[in-house]
Structure 1
Amino acid sequence: MRNVPVAEVDALDRAVLAIGTDYPRDHLLAWHEHRRAQVLYAATGVMRVEAADGSWTVPTARAVLIPPRTRHQVAMTGVSTRSLYIEPAAVPWFPTRCRAVDVSALLRALLLAAVDMEPRYPEHGRDGAVVALILHELKDLAPLPLDVPLPADPRLRDLCEAFLRRPDVHDPPARWCAVLNVSERTLARLFRRGTGLSFSQWRQRACILHSLPHLAAGTPVTRVAALLGYDNPAAYTAAFGRLLGRPPTAYGRSDRPEGAGRRSQSSRREMEAAATGRE
């Protein structure tokens, strides 16, 4: 199915519904929730998924798992998605909090195939086997540190959200302490309790994840580093690698799914056509 609202097909008696959707360049999918669990995969572009307890920045060829009945909104930059909507009973292991994940080459191919299946696919034929294999593959996806947790404390959360809009890797904790009228020790305790991270870890992660849409848009690494306040591109690149295990250039405009270079030309054309919504 392509470009079909999930509400129109949610009642279908199938454990998994696969929908491919192409969005305008800068699109905001406002706050909503689904009855089913969702696997939201970025075939192209970069997504920022926000929920009550954090935000997840999801670049091309990665996905976010969204639990059933979780209110969220999605800001999209050049995004075409492939979504799975799954009956909760079919995934009892599904996380209770949103989780960004890497996507295996096999699951990627299955996702691209699934959106072209009939909505009421035969459960005991080839399409049913594709769905069964999808459910197996989903269990073993590696989590990725693409989330920025947000604290429940309203005053600290306001500061965190303001920082996310204009991150600066050198923003001093003393400034936060002055606004909150607390000591640095108290600030450290609030951050650890509210986010599970230290202040410096949270600040660094927020900066790195903020840079992903800039990289996807083709902004040079030197420019991105300067925007975030890093002293030089090398410092930014080192911090990026420590968090995500790959250099910033791996997430740039030329990024493509792993294994793409080993596929045949015809297979690559088919996947590219699927990813951009072409028949």
Structure 2
Amino acid sequence: MKNVPLADVDDVDRAVLPIGTDYPPGHLLDWHEHRRAQFLYGATGVMVVDTGDGTWTVPPERAVLIPSGTRHRVRMLGVSTRSLYIEPDAVPWWPDTCTVVDVPPLLRELLLAAVEFEADYSLAGRDGSVADLLLHEIAARAPLPFHVRVPASADLAAPCREYLAAPDTGVSNAAWAARAHLSERAFTRRFRAETGDSPAVWRGRARLLAAVPLLRSGSVSEVAGRLGYASPAAFTAAFTRTFGVPPSRFTRGHPGHRGRSTVHGPVSDPS
């Protein structure tokens, strides 16, 4: 199924519903939730997934596991998705929070094959076997660290959301503390309790996450300068230390980089 709204097929008696959707650059799927769990794979481009608990940046050739009933929004940056909407009782092992994972070649090819199925595909034979194998492959995936937690408190969450949208190297703990009407020490203590990190460490990670979509069109040197790093080498070292891969892996010139998707026909929001 391609460019089919989930609501049109949600009641079909299949544990796994594959849907492929093409999105124009910058498309925003605003806040919504699904009854089913979702495996959201970006065949091209970058996705940014927000929930009340955090932000997950999904680089090309990665996917995010979204638990059933999780309110979320997704910003699509040149993305063609291949999603699986899965009955929760079919995946009792599904994570409780969003999780970014790698998508190796076998899983990718299974996804590409599955979105060609009809909604009521046969459970016997090839189609049913592909659906079963998809779940086995997803269960074997390990989480990747492309996320930051967002504080639950509104007064702490607001500057974090703003920073994620536009990282500012001039921001200080003192400025954030004053905005929350707290001493710097009290602010840092509260921030660490709600996110697990100090504000400075959090901002450093958020700044690196912001680099992922920028690398779609900019070089490592350009992105390093835009985000305020002293040198491309310093940026590369920080990125690699945090995410386990160099930033060059996500630039347009890299052999593994896939270009922007082409939208085929009208776009339907499957949410």
Instruction: Please give the TM-score of this superposition, normalised by the length of structure 1.
Output: 0.89
**Partner residue, 1:204:** 204
**Of 240-249 and 166-175, the range deviating more from structure 2:** 166-175
CA distance in 2, matches of 1:162, 1:19: 32
Contact 2:24/2:263 (8 A) holds in 1: no
How far apart, in 1, do the equivalents of 2:130 and 2:22 lie? 23
Following superposition, the deviation at residue 180 of structure 1 comes to: 2.5
Q: In the alignment, what sits opposite 2:218?
A: 219
Aligned partner of 2:183 in structure 1 is 183
Q: CA deviation at 1:186?
A: 2.3
Contact preservation (8 Å) 1:170, 1:229:
no
**CA distance, structure 2, for counterparts of residue 87 and residue 208 of structure 1:** 34
- The change in CA–CA distance for 1:197 and 1:75 in structure 2 (over 3 A counts) is same
Structure 1 runs of 4+ aligned residues shifted over 6 Å read: none
Q: Does structure 2 conserve the Cα–Cα contact (< 8 Å) formed by 1:60 and 1:256?
A: no
- Contact 1:20–1:277 (8 Å) recurs in 2: no
Q: Which letter does structure 2 place at the counterpart of 1:156?
A: L
The reply on whether 1:113 has 2:122 as its aligned counterpart is: no
**Counterparts of 1:45-194 in structure 2 under 5 Å?**
45-169=45-169, 171-194=171-194
Name the residue aligned to 2:40: 40
Residues 50 and 236 from structure 1, CA distance in 2 versus in 1: closer, same or farther, beyond 3 angstroms?
same
Match of 2:23 in 1: 23
Separation of aligned partners in 1, 2:105 and 2:153: 40
The Cα shift of 1:46 comes to 0.6
Considering fraction of residues, name the structure with more helix. Answer: 1
Secondary structure, in 3 states, of the residue corresponding to 1:46? strand
The Cα shift of 1:170 comes to 5.4
CA distance in 1, matches of 2:222, 2:135: 41
Deviation at 1:254, TM superposition (A): 3.6
Deviation at 1:276, TM superposition (A): 5.5
| Partner residue in 2 for 1:3 | 3
The aligned length equals: 263
Query: Which deviates more from structure 2 when the two are superposed, residues 114-123 or residues 41-50?
Result: 114-123
In the TM superposition, residue 256 of structure 1 has moved relative to its aligned partner by: 5.9
CA shift digits 1:70-102 (9 cap, x unpaired): 111111111100000000110011111111111
Query: 1:240 maps to which residue?
Result: 239
- Kindly provide the amino acid, as one letter, of the partner of residue 221 in structure 1: V
Aligned AA for 1:241?
T
TM-fit CA distance, 1:25: 1.6
CA distance in 1, matches of 2:122, 2:21: 23
Structure 2 unaligned blocks of 5 or more: 265-271
Percent identity, please: 55
- Aligned partner of 1:226: which letter? G
Other structure's SS at 1:97 match: coil
Residues 56, 146 of structure 2: 8 Å contact kept? yes
Q: Does 1:230 align with 2:223?
A: no
**Paired residues of 1:44 and 1:276 also in contact (CA < 8 A):** no
For structure 1, list consecutive stretches of 5 or more residues without a partner in the other structure. 261-271
Q: Which has the higher contact order (CA 8 A, sep 6+)?
A: 2
CA distance in 2 between counterparts of 1:277 and 1:124 reads 33
